[in-house]
Structure 1
Amino acid sequence: MSVFGLRTSNPAFTNYFWKKSKSYSSNKMTLGGIITKTLFMLVLVCCTAFYTWHLFFSGVVVKWHTSIGALVAVFCSIYISYKHNVAKYLLPVYALAKGFFLGGISAYAHKQIPNLPFQAVGVTLLTFFVMFFLYKWRVIRVTKAFRSAIITTSVTIFLLYFIRWIFWWFGISVFFLSGNSRFAIAFNICTAIVASLSLLLDFDYIHRYLGKASKEREWLATWGFLITLIWLYVEVVRLFKKITFR
């Protein structure tokens, strides 16, 4: 999907979501604005994640917290996709809901493998900065072919996850998505790599349109970073669990 002639795998940066708005503002997108909003949203994610974590280790069943949080986050994403002007209102709700989801899966992972979530957070942050410097130093150049490859791979991965979810309702397990075989681990490594490379496309878009896109688009840029970072974190958690129980 294109963005002003560019390509990105992140749904928050597609041509549809970044089309010209009917209202125009003299205020333009700034890096400081994106960083501030992203940090604030991450704080909200951490608040509900820590709350769910506390409930879990207090003996409370957090299955519904995790499930409802995931559903609310999906609903918010879909609504933001169609009504991008409400991003600044729904993004805090999305962040809080995602926190419930992440808190639940993280607590369960920590119970199975102590300190795994903290290791996953460290790997996610390290990957973020590595990708940033790789982009900054032009070690990896975001070309048209690169964008197309990441888009195609990302779409394929999400389709496979959707199929897995459908099969799950019928009690069918997809071995290379749910198991801990060598093939499953290899697949998980590939998804983590794709999630990491998606950050480069996000950096590229923001770099090109700083000072050009309207100020309110910072909310969509923030949403895009949250999607990618959370996806990467979840993939790292899944990978560590598979390797541990191998």
Structure 2
Amino acid sequence: MSVFGLRTSNPAFTSYFWKRSHHYTKKRMSIAGIVLKCMLMLLLVCATAFYTWHLYFSGVSVKWYTSIGALVAVFCSVFISYKHSSAKYMLPIYALAKGFFLGGISAYAHKRFPNLPFQAIGTTLVTFFVMLFLYRFRLIRVTREFKAIIITASMSIFMLYFIGWVFWLFDITIPFLWGNSWYAITFNIVTAIVASLSLLLDFDYIHRHVGRAPKSREWLATWGFLITLIWLYVEVLRLLRKLAYWR
């Protein structure tokens, strides 16, 4: 996962996506372009999330909306991974699908623990701006060693979740992954911290390529931010739910 000697834990920012284009263009990646695309995609996420939320509290089962949304989002991510030029077209589909998934899990959480999703959104936004502040003023330096640690931790977490999902298919539950014990809470805190620190790697990567990479790469950068932000939100939501269980 190296790009021009740099690394990031976000799967959207790999060397595969940043190969030099054979078609020269004067337009280059800009912060404004990335911010605009992020805002548009987040609006799409919110649209389908609110729709799924409304269906759930209208008495409609959203199980399939949530499940299919998650599967479509995974498919879009894999497709973009192998055909990076499709990001411009696949990212809106990814955002809409992810909205169905987030709307479903958020509605479930809100029904059992009222206002929990709003707390998770607030915590995610605060974390985002804190990480941006830390990066902007170099209070945490993104060194190669730091990147290596975050990458290793991210991949380890991913593998644990994947193994846990496979075991779940055979009705085997891994307590510290899905349970509400203090071991599970500790694990969730660690994953939330890793997701937060991954934002620093993304900030650093974008900073180093603004003005250099082609304009079209803004779609891939946007995808990368969505992956990290949504991962962070899901981890925060799970953590708050587990903590609320002990209240």
* 1:76-225 equivalences in 2 (<5 Å): 76-225=76-225
Q: Which residue of 1 aligns with 2:244?
A: 244
Q: Specify every segment of 5 or more residues in structure 2 that has no aligned partner in the other structure, as ranges.
A: none
The CA distance in 2 between the partners of 1:35 and 1:214, in whole Å, is 16
Pair 1:48 & 2:59 matched: no
How big is the alpha-carbon RMSD for the aligned residues of Structure 1 and Structure 2?
0.6
Q: In 1, distance between residues paired with 2:153 and 2:226? A: 19
Q: Write the mapping of 1:63-82 to structure 2, written as runs, cut at 5 A.
A: 63-82=63-82
Instruction: For 2:121, give the aligned amino acid.
Output: V
Q: For residues 51 and 23 of structure 1, what CA distance do their matches in structure 2 show?
A: 41
Q: CA deviation at 1:3?
A: 1.5
Residue identity matched to 1:143: T
> Aligned letter for 2:3?
V
Distance 1:134 1:206 in 2: 15
Q: CA deviation at 1:21?
A: 2.3
Distance 1:192 1:22 in 2: 39
Amino acid of the structure 2 residue aligned with 1:195: A
Corresponding residue for residue 230 of structure 1: 230
Structure 1 position 11, deviation (Å): 0.6
The 2-side partners of 1:214 and 1:38 are apart by: 17
Quote how far apart the aligned CAs of 1:19 are.
Answer: 1.6
| 1:244 CA displacement | 1.0
Task: Measure, in 2, the Cα distance between the counterparts of 1:137 and 1:111.
Answer: 40
Deviations 1:49-102 (A, max 9, x none): 000000000000000000000000000000000000000000000000000000
The Cα of 1:23 is off from its aligned counterpart by 2.3
Task: Write the distance in 2 (CA, Å) between the matches of 1:24 and 1:224.
Answer: 24
TM-score (norm 1): 0.99
Shift of residue 17, structure 1, vs aligned partner: 1.7
Which whole-Å CA distance do the structure 2 matches of 1:237 and 1:79 have between them? 28
Partner of 1:8: 8
Counterpart AA for 2:150: I
Instruction: Say which is worse superposed, 123-132 or 15-24, in terms of deviation.
Output: 15-24
Per-residue deviation at 1:4? 1.2
Question: Following TM superposition, by how much is the alpha carbon of 1:127 offset from its aligned partner in structure 2, in angstroms?
Answer: 0.3
- Partner of 1:224: helix, strand, or coil? helix
Moved segments of 4+, more than 2 Å: 21-24
Structure 1: where are the runs of 5+ without partners?
A: none
